[in-house]
Structure 1
Amino acid sequence: MITIGDQIVTLDQLKGFLYSNEQLEISAAAIERVKRNHQFLIHFSTDKIIYGINTGFGPMAQYRVSDEDRKTLQYNLIRSHCSGTGNALDPIYVKAAMIVRLNSFLIGKSGVHESLIFLLRDLINNNITPVVFEHGGVGASGDLVQLAHLGQCLIGEGSVHYKGEIREAAEVFAEAGISPITIQIREGLAVMNGTSFMTGIGVVNLIQAQNLVNWSVNAASLINELIASYDDYFSSELNDVKLHAGQRKVAAQIRERLEGSTLIKSRATHLYKKVDEMYFEDKVQEYYSIRCVPQIVGPISDTIEYATTVIENEVNSVNDNPVVDEAANNIYHGGNFHGDYISLEMDKVKIAITKLAMLAERQVNYLMNSKLNNMLPPFLNKGVLGLNFGLQGVQFTATSTVAECQTLANPMYVHSIPNNNDNQDIVSMGTNSALICSKVIENAYQVIAIELMSITQAIDILKLNDRLSVYNSSVLATIHTAFVPFTEDQPKYKEIRNVLSKLRISISKETVK
C-alpha cells in the first residue's frame, strides 16, 4: 500500500501502480484539504457567476443556469460528451489516466466532493476501468471526450473492463460493493476539464520507451561483441569529451555489458603497432550503426529523460478550470487544461523512438547482408543457399514497420483545428499525439524483437555462445526462451510474438486478479 496526496508522485511509483500489485491509499491530510476546498466552493459560489457551476460550457457560458438545474447541468455535460469512436483504449492507459486525475484532485484546487476521491481510489485498486475510445479529444479544454467516458463510469453508467471482460458498470459496481458518486456541485466539469488521459497515456509511453532504450543498448552490445568490434567506440575517453549526458550514459552502459568480454578488440593491440600490409581485411572503423550507438541513442535517452520531467510535472499539477483557491479567497479562470506540454513531448518521444527503430533496422540489415559483415551467410541462412531463406522474411517486416514509424513521426502538435464554435480556436491534439506515440513504441518493439532474433541466429552461426560477456550471455538466454536458432525454413510470426512478450514490460498477473 502506497499513500498519495502529500508528496510528488513519480514515474517509478506510477510504474508500480500500473504493472505490479501495488495498491494506493489517500493521506488523511489530502482528504481534509479536498473537504475544505469543496466547502469553500459552495460558500463562495453563492450569488456569483462561476463558470461551469451556474453557466453553460464553452461558447454556451453566456447562458446562466438556474440553481435548481445546476446538478442536472453536470450530468448533462458528462452524458452529452460520451461520443468517442474507434478502438477501445487498453485498460492500462485508462488506469493510468484515473491515477493521474485522482492525484490532481488531491492538490485541493478543484472543488470536488470527497466521495469522488474515494470512488476513484476503489476503482483503481480493484482494476475496474471504464471503456474509453481512442478518438474524440482535441486536448484543449482537456481530454473532454475521453474524460466524459470516465465520468460516465463514475456516475454508474456505461461499460467497464473488469477481470478480462467488458461488462455494464452498474452490474460490476453492485458485485464489488461500490457506489457511484452523486453530483454535488461541479464534479462533472472537474472530471472532464483536464489533461489526464494524454498524461496517463504518456506515463505508459515513457515507461515502455525507457525499457526500449535498454533493449536497444542490449542489442548494440551484443552486435558489437559478435563482430568483435574495437573497444574505443564506447570508451570513457572518447565519449566524455562530448558533454551530453545521454551519450556518456549509453557508452557507460555498453562498457558495463561488455565487461569481461574476450571478443572485443583493443585498437592498441591490433593497429597501434608497426603494420606492413597495404590492405586490411578487418575494418579500421565499423559502420555508423555499429560504432555511433552512444551518439545516436544518447539524444534519444535525453529526450525521454526530459519528457519524464514534463510528464511528472503534469501528473502533479492542477490542470482543470476554473481553479478553486480558498487561500486566496478566489476562483481563477484560465486554461490549465490545455495540453501543449504533453503534446509536444509525445511528438518528440515518437521522433526519438522512430530513430531507435531505424537504428535497429540498419543493424538487422548489417547482419543480413554478407557483403557488409563479411562473416555471416546471406540472411543468416544456416541451410542451403538458394533452397533455404533463413531470416529473409522477417527483414521485410522490420523494414515495413520502420517505414510506418517514419510516417507516424510527423508532428501532431502543429495540427491544430479550431472547433467548439471557435471557442477552442487553437488546440493541442495532445491525446492524439500520445496515442500515435504509443503506436510508434509498439512498432519499435517489433523491430527490436526481430533484431534480437537476428543477433541470436548470428551468434549461433559463429558459435560464440560460450564466449560472450556474462551480461550478454544472460540477455541471450532470455531470447533463447522465445526463439531458437534454426536451419530448416519455418514460419516466424509466432516466435516474433514470443520474443515481444519477453521484451515488453507486462502487467503482473497479480494485478488483474
Structure 2
Amino acid sequence: MLAGEKNLTIEDLVQVARKHKKAALSAKALEKAKAARKLIQDWIKQGKAIYGVTTGFGALCDRTIPSEEAKLLQENILKSHAAGVGEPLPEEVVRAVMAIRLQDLSQGYSGVRPETLTALLDLLNSDVVPIVPEKGSVGASGDLCPMAHLALVLIGHGQAWFRGRKMSGAQALAEAGLRPLCLEAGEGLALINGTQVMTAIAALAVHDARILAKTADIACAMSLEVLMGSNTEFDQRIQAVRPHLGQAEAAANMALLTDKSEIISSHKDCGRIQDAYTLRCSPQIHGASRGAMEHITKVVDIEINSSTTNPLVFPETEDFLLGGNFHGQPVALAADYLGIALAEFASVSERRIERLVNPQLSGLPAFLVEDSGLNSGFMIAQYTAAALVSENKTLAHPACVDSIPTSANKEDHVSMGTISARKARSILQNAAHVLAIELLCGAQALDLLTNGRPGPGTEAAYQAVRARISRLERDRILAPDIEQATEMVLSGEIVAKVEEKVGPLK
C-alpha cells in the first residue's frame, strides 16, 4: 500500500489489515501535506477564524481559541471525544481504519503536518493497535468517538495492543520505539473527523461477502444434487431473457459445479415437474444479493479513497472550505443494504437445510442419520440455522433510517453508519454459520446416497469438508463441526478447493 500515490483497493486493505503488509507514504503525499500545512500556519498568523483550528467544535464553533491554547485544544478534543463503550473492535478492523485514515490524510486536504502522517504510518507499520470501543459513533461528524480512542495512542494516551499484550498507549509507543506526537493547531480534529471506522468494517465485510456468495452457490449446488433436483434452472437461455448480471453469474457457477453429475442424470426422466423455489429460483435469489454487493463495492471503493474531514484545505486555490464529507450516509445506506443482501443468503440456505433433514421432503433418512430415534443427527443444527436467520431478520432492519440530533442540535441529522456496518458484519458471521451447516448436511446426504457421483465442483466441496470433518455415523457434539466448517467458509478454503478443480467461479 502506497498512500497518496494511487487508489487503495479493498484487496490492498485486506492485505494491510489481515496480512500485516507494510504501508508507505509517497513523496507526493508529503509535499501535499507540507503545502496545505503552510496555508494553515499563514491563516493562523492572519487571525482567520477556521473551524476546529482557531475555534471550538460542534455547537461551540463560535468560541474563538487563543493561539497559545491551540495545542491544548487539539489534545482536549481527543480526550473529550474518547467516550466509547462496549467490546473493542477487532484488531484487523483497527488496522484497516488506520490504513484508510492514512489514505485520506495523504491526499493533502486536511492540513496536517507531514510529521503527523509519518507518525500514523509508523503506528500502523509497528503493529501498535489502539484499543477502540465499538460503540459510540452516530456516523456524523464521521466516527468521532472511536477515532478519538485511536488517535489518543498517537499522543501517548489511551490503550493499545502490542505483541499480544494490552498496555497503555505510552507504553506501547515506548516498546515499539516510537515517540508520542505533539499535535499542532487543527490536527486533533483532522485525525478524528471522518468515516474511516464504518468504512473499514464495511470494506472487510464486502471482501468476505464475495467469498460468501461463491460459497452459497457451492452449498446450493450440493443440496440440489442430493435432493434430486434439476440443473435446467441454470440454463443460460433462462438468464439471457432476464439479464441481471448477478443472476447469470450464480447460474453459471451452479451449472459448472453440477456439470456431468451422475446424480442429476440418474433421475432425468422422473415424474417431478419442477423443483422447490429454494432450488429452482436460486440463481435469482443469490443473484439479487450479488447485484447488491456490486453496488456496495462501488460505494466502498469511492469512500476508502475520499477525503472526509472538515474543513478541507485546497492549496492550489489557497482556500479552505467547510462542508459535510464526514457525513456517513453513503456508507450507512450501503452497509444496511449489504446486511439485507447477506441475510438473504442465510434465509434461503436455511430452507434448503430443512429440505435436507426432513425425510418427507428429501427421501433420505430422517435428520440425515442412520438409526434415527436413537440418534438425532442434524435435527438441532437446523434449529441453530433457524435461530441465526431469525436474528438476522432483526439485524437487517436499517440503522440509517434513524437519526438522533447531537451537539445541541447543530448536528441535526446523523447517519448511524457505524451501527449499519457493525450489523452487516454480524449478519455476515451468522450467514457463514448457516452456510456451514448446509455444507455439512450436503456432505452427509452425499454419504447416504448411492445414485452415482456428484458433479466435479460439488465433489470437490464434499472432499474439502471430509478432509476436516468426518461423516456423522452416530450422534456426537456438533458445535465443533459447525465451527470448523464456518472457519473453512470464512477463510475461503471451500471456494479455493472447488476452484482448484473446476477453475475460477464468478
Into which bin does the TM-score normalised by the smaller protein fall? over 0.9
Q: Give how far 1:258 is off.
A: 2.2
Determine if the alignment matches structure 1 residue 177 to structure 2 residue 177: yes
Range with greater deviation from structure 2 (399-408 or 257-266):
257-266
Distance (Å, rounded) in 2 between the aligned partners of 1:392 and 1:305? 36
Q: Give how far 1:266 is off.
A: 9.6
8 Å Cα contact 1:78/1:151 also seen in 2: yes
Q: Which residue of 2 aligns with 1:122?
A: 122
Range with greater deviation from structure 2 (347-356 or 177-186):
177-186
8 Å Cα contact 1:358/1:402 also seen in 2: yes
Determine if the alignment matches structure 1 residue 472 to structure 2 residue 470: no
**Matching residue within 374, 382, 407 for 1:387:** 374
8 Å Cα contact 2:51/2:57 also seen in 1: yes
8 Å Cα contact 2:128/2:176 also seen in 1: no
- SS of equivalent residue, structure 2 residue 263: coil
8 Å Cα contact 1:449/1:500 also seen in 2: yes
Q: Which residue of 2 aligns with 1:443?
A: 430
CA deviations 1:221-242 (Å, max 9, x no partner) are 2122233422321011111111
- SS of equivalent residue, structure 1 residue 166: strand
Residues 192-207 of structure 1: pairs in structure 2 closer than 5 A: 192-207=192-207
8 Å Cα contact 1:130/1:158 also seen in 2: yes
Q: Which residue of 2 aligns with 1:397?
A: 384
Residues 108-147 of structure 1: pairs in structure 2 closer than 5 A: 108-147=108-147
Residues 97-108 of structure 1: pairs in structure 2 closer than 5 A: 97-108=97-108
CA deviations 1:248-304 (Å, max 9, x no partner) are 11111112222332333499x63xxxxxxxxxx642111000111110010101111
Distance (Å, rounded) in 2 between the aligned partners of 1:367 and 1:189? 55
Give the structure-2-normalised TM-score.
0.94
Distance (Å, rounded) in 2 between the aligned partners of 1:161 and 1:258? 47
Q: Give how far 1:18 is off.
A: 2.2
Q: CA RMSD in A?
A: 1.7
In structure 2, the CA distance between the partners of 1:94 and 1:80, relative to structure 1 (3 Å rule), is: same
Distance (Å, rounded) in 2 between the aligned partners of 1:480 and 1:55? 64
Residues 89-488 of structure 1: pairs in structure 2 closer than 5 A: 89-265=89-265, 270=269, 282-373=271-362, 375-382=363-370, 384-463=371-450, 467-488=453-474
8 Å Cα contact 1:84/1:146 also seen in 2: yes
Count of matched residue pairs: 492
- SS of equivalent residue, structure 2 residue 298: helix
Distance (Å, rounded) in 2 between the aligned partners of 1:188 and 1:437? 30
8 Å Cα contact 1:19/1:506 also seen in 2: no
Gaps of 5+ in 2: 494-506
- Identity, in percent, stands at 33
Q: Which residue of 2 aligns with 1:41?
A: 40
CA deviations 1:318-351 (Å, max 9, x no partner) are 1010001111211000111000001001111101
Distance (Å, rounded) in 2 between the aligned partners of 1:45 and 1:463? 81
- SS of equivalent residue, structure 1 residue 45: helix
Q: Which residue of 2 aligns with 1:503?
A: 489
8 Å Cα contact 2:227/2:356 also seen in 1: no
Q: Give how far 1:208 is off.
A: 1.4
Give the structure-1-normalised TM-score.
0.93
Distance (Å, rounded) in 1 between the aligned partners of 2:66 and 2:403? 35
Range with greater deviation from structure 2 (446-455 or 117-126):
117-126
Q: Give how far 1:467 is off.
A: 1.2
Q: Give how far 1:396 is off.
A: 0.9
Moved over 4 A (4+): none
Distance (Å, rounded) in 2 between the aligned partners of 1:85 and 1:429? 16
8 Å Cα contact 2:143/2:194 also seen in 1: yes
- SS of equivalent residue, structure 2 residue 222: helix
Range with greater deviation from structure 2 (233-242 or 477-486):
477-486
8 Å Cα contact 1:151/1:192 also seen in 2: yes
8 Å Cα contact 1:230/1:266 also seen in 2: no
Q: Which residue of 2 aligns with 1:511?
A: none
**Matching residue within 489, 494, 497 for 2:480:** 494
CA deviations 1:369-409 (Å, max 9, x no partner) are 11112x21111122x23221111111111111110000111
Code of the aligned partner of 2:111? G
